[in-house]
Amino acid sequence: MDQTPKEIISAHNPLFIHCKELSINKKYRYTHKQYIAEGVRAFDRTADITSVLVRKGTALPVSLKKQPYSMVAEKLFERLADTEQSQGIIACCKMNLQAVNTLEQDKRYVLIDHLQDPGNIGTIIRTADAFGYEGIIVTDGCADPYNPKAVRSSMGSISSLPVIPLTSTHELKGYTLMAADKSGIPFTKVAWPTGYILVIGSEAHGVSNELLTRASHTISIPIAPGVDSLNAAIAAGILMAQSVAKK
């Protein structure tokens, strides 16, 4: 295979324009079903890579030695990079999207409800991957899991777990929902079923009433008096760890 890279020296280059739109435009991402991953750890696991862009002067990692790539002028690359200390490598990857009807009753999933911080979403995805969950369900009100910040925070797990967009809570009929809520029973007393959907809401508003009414169980995390709430990603991690410990 010829590994002589193509060179991108103009902002009018079609691949450069494509990557830039993927990084800033959610609608464009979902139209093309692709996303941007910056830094090797963001896509070095099971990502389905369509293009690789390397900043001029950056050494190509061993994991990409057989991957065709394009060399980008340093000033142009800065216009694509989303980090201050970029590793100099960006990949366009195919989204791993699934429909709600692919959910299995005996599997475990995390549902993220109206969470706005993409960094928290990426951390939840990474944690779910670590604890063997099968996928991430997201409501319409969530920040995009394929936002560059969420992708970076997931540390490659976004390519391992499917993202399952939810358009209506009616689609969850028949599934066991375990919703995190401060009025629920303490997590230490929960009998976790074999298959379920763990529902995590926003820090400001919690799980929506629509999902709470569908929940089979509501679960709380005991915290010190006077502390209003936990970070959503931390709460999700505690509950996922507890569910595994109870097996």
pLDDT tens, 114-149?
Answer: 999 999 999 999 999 999 999 999 999 899 999 999
20: its two tokens: 């830039």
Cα–Cα distance measured from residue 206 to residue 222, given in angstroms and rounded to the nearest whole number: 15
221: its two tokens: 């995390």
φ, ψ at 87 (rounded to 5°):
-75, -5
Cα–Cα distance measured from residue 21 to residue 191, given in angstroms and rounded to the nearest whole number: 46
- At residue 247, the pLDDT reads 58
Instruction: Name which of 74-83, 150-159, 192-201, 222-231 the model is least confident about.
Output: 222-231
The CATH class that applies to domain 6-94 reads alpha beta
Asked if pLDDT for residue 196 goes beyond 90, the answer is yes
Mean pLDDT across 62-84:
86
Angle between helices 232-245 and 118-130 (to 10 degrees): 10
The CATH class that applies to domain 100-245 reads alpha beta
Q: What is the mean pLDDT of the chain?
A: 91
Inter-residue contact 132 to 108 (CB < 8 Å)? yes
Mean pLDDT across 185-191:
92
Question: Residue 56: which of 23, 90, 22 has the closest Cα?
Answer: 90
% of the chain residues with pLDDT over 70? 96
Asked if pLDDT for residue 45 goes beyond 90, the answer is no
Q: Where are the domains of the chain?
A: 6-94, 100-245
The residue ranking higher by pLDDT, 4 or 207, is: 207
Q: How far is CA 201 from CA 111, 173, 247, in A?
A: 8, 19, 24
% of the chain residues with pLDDT over 90? 76
Query: What confidence category does residue 214 fall into, taking pLDDT thresholds of 50, 70 and 90?
Result: very high
Instruction: Give 221's contacts (C-beta < 8 A, 6+ positions apart).
Output: 180, 186, 187, 230, 235, 238, 239
- At residue 175, the pLDDT reads 95
**From the CB of residue 7, how many other CB atoms can be counted at a distance below 10 Å?**
12
